[in-house]
Homo-oligomer: A and B are copies of this chain.
Amino acid sequence: MAKAAIMGYGTVGSGVYEIIKNNAEKLKKNANGEPIETKYILDIRDFPDHKEKHLFTKDFNDILNDSEVSVVAEVMGGLHPAYEFTKSLLESGKSVVTSNKELVATYGTELLALAREKNVNYFFEASVGGGIPIIRPMHQCLTANNIIRIAGILNGTTNYILNQMIKSGQTFDAALKDAQAKGFAERNPAADIEGHDACRKIAILTSLASGLTVDYNDIETKGITDITLDDVNYAAQMDAVIKLIGFAEFQEDGKIYSIVSPMVVKNDSPLSGVDGVMNAIMVTGDCVGNVMFYGAGAGKLPTASAVVADVVDAVKHIERSKKIMWVEPKENIMANSDSKKFAYFIRTTDNAENIRGIFGKCEFVDNIVSGESAFVTEPMSQSDAEEKSGKLKDVVSMIKVLD
């Protein structure tokens, strides 16, 4: 019998508890016959009506000091005390699995090294893409590939908002209110709509793909707050949609270009059809080409399903570290922001003649707002695009086009 503990009894934590209980037979079979049981649930709140209220504790040391507990699901979120707890648990020889993207993106390097040193595991499948299998497939199934590129819809809240704008013609503000009413956006939605959540996730994927720590502070991050219904309608006219994309490209010189930004995504890309709160990650390998992983990027049971899969894997690998890790790079590995060229979709009050004079070759889009010109540039560097657009009379929007 493997004993597990759950730290944090919120949405995901209660899902982890339920799956371990309800799918016990399935888990036992998949853990090579070893039954798995929850022995503790750590939460500062009281749950007096819970059927198994004896499982609850407010004292972390109950878990830390119980030698029977071999794996702990950290689903409390936030950096502290999640960091201190995880560190203590790994040091004491327990495996930890987590859905905490902030913690993995911030302290992953250290915690993964510590897990390896202690011959235990620190798994984080649920930290990116919720229930979507992405961490293991990238690490194991694409292991023969040099990863060239990652482009993902990594945040369900922003995808829902953009989707409402595209499909229902809601303004950004209306779509945000709608998302909040449905529980898809938090009351303070900044972390989502300003791209910070997606940034943590692309940092984790990029670290995993490169084997080197990518500091999320080094990733230029732009959210969707400036996207208007007109932008969305222009995109539709271009047979495209606007999506918030977490993007990384692994360049031949070993440098990594990474950005979080709204992008115009052509409808022939499988990413364009990812609707509602769904997430999808397109990974390009030098052998396999494009593969895409699609599913629920958040939500109680989808996310818990990934956490519990990690619990099962940890149980199967007691005292055997799986060596998923990345290390601090010896030098700066982040590429210059001008090293990747994008085409840009630009709206301006300037006229076609001036636009052509400044940008040379470009493709005009039938304008849907009077007094405007809209066009797509040739691929160019960011500073080139900024310099040129600075010469236009007035720039209404300027959005990267995913190639």
Tell whether, in the assembled complex, residue B289 and residue A131 are in contact, meaning their CB atoms are under 8 Å apart: yes
Question: Per-residue 0/1 for A289-317: is the Cβ within 8 Å of any B Cβ (1 yes, 0 no)?
Answer: 11111111001011011101101110000
Q: Tell me whether A288 and B305 are in contact in the complex, defined as CB-CB below 8 angstroms, given that A143-B312, A144-B23, A312-B144 are known contacts.
A: yes
B23, B145, B287, B291: the one within 8 Å of A294 (CB): B291
Whether A287 lies near B144 (C-beta < 8 A) is no
A392 within 8 A of B: no
- Chain B residues with Cβ under 8 A from A27's Cβ? 143-144
A241-283 contacts to B, CB under 8 A, are 268, 270, 272-275, 280
Stretch of A133-141, A171-179, A185-193, A378-386 contacting B (4+ beta carbons < 8 Å): A133-141
The one of B29, B144, B270, B296 that contacts A274, using a Cβ cutoff of 8 Å: B270
In this complex, the member of A30, A32, A275 whose beta carbon has the largest number of chain B beta carbons within 10 angstroms is A30
* Distance in angstroms between the alpha carbons of A236 and B274 in the assembled complex: 20
- Asked whether A294 lies within 8 Å of B309 as measured between CB atoms, the reply is no
Given contacts A144-B23, A270-B294, A131 and B309 within 8 Å (CB-CB)? no
Q: Are A291 and B131 interface neighbours, CB within 8 A?
A: yes
Given A26-B144, A133-B142, A270-B274; A288-B312 close (CB under 8 Å): no
Q: How many copies does the complex hold?
A: 2
Contacts of A146 in B (CB 8 A): 23, 26
B-chain residues with CB within 8 Å of residue A274 when the two chains form the complex: 270
Partner of A30, one of B19, B143, B302: B143
| Cβ contacts under 8 Å, A137 to chain B | 133, 136-137, 141
Distance in Å: Cβ of A193 to nearest Cβ of chain B? 24
Q: Are A143 and B309 in contact (CB under 8 A)?
A: yes
Q: Does A211 contact B (CB under 8 A)?
A: yes
**Contact status A144-B268, CB under 8 Å:** no
Q: Which residue of the partner chain, among B23, B272, B285, B301, contacts A305 with CB atoms under 8 Å?
A: B285
* A287 pairs with B313, CB closer than 8 A: no
Taken together as a complex, chains A and B put the C-alpha atoms of A144 and B97 apart, in Å, by 14
Interface centre among A143, A211, A290, A302 (most CB of B within 10 A): A143
Residues of B within 8 Å of A311, CB to CB, are 144
Residues of B within 8 A of A295 (CB): 288-292
User: Are B296 and A288 in contact, CB atoms less than 8 angstroms apart?
Assistant: yes
Among B15, B19, B142, the residue within 8 A (CB) of A309 is: B142
Q: Is A132 an interface residue (CB 8 A)?
A: yes
The yes or no answer to A125 lying at the interface (CB within 8 A) is yes
Kindly state the separation between the CA atoms of A1 and B142 in the bound complex, as whole angstroms: 21
Check A144–B292 contact: CB distance below 8 A. no
Query: Could you tell me the distance in whole angstroms from the C-beta of A264 to the nearest C-beta in chain B?
Result: 17
Asked if A361 lies at the interface with its beta carbon under 8 angstroms from chain B, I say no
* Chain B residues, Cβ within 8 Å of A288: 131-132, 295-296, 301-302, 305-306
Within 8 A of B (CB), among A1-43: 15, 19, 23, 26-27, 29-30, 32
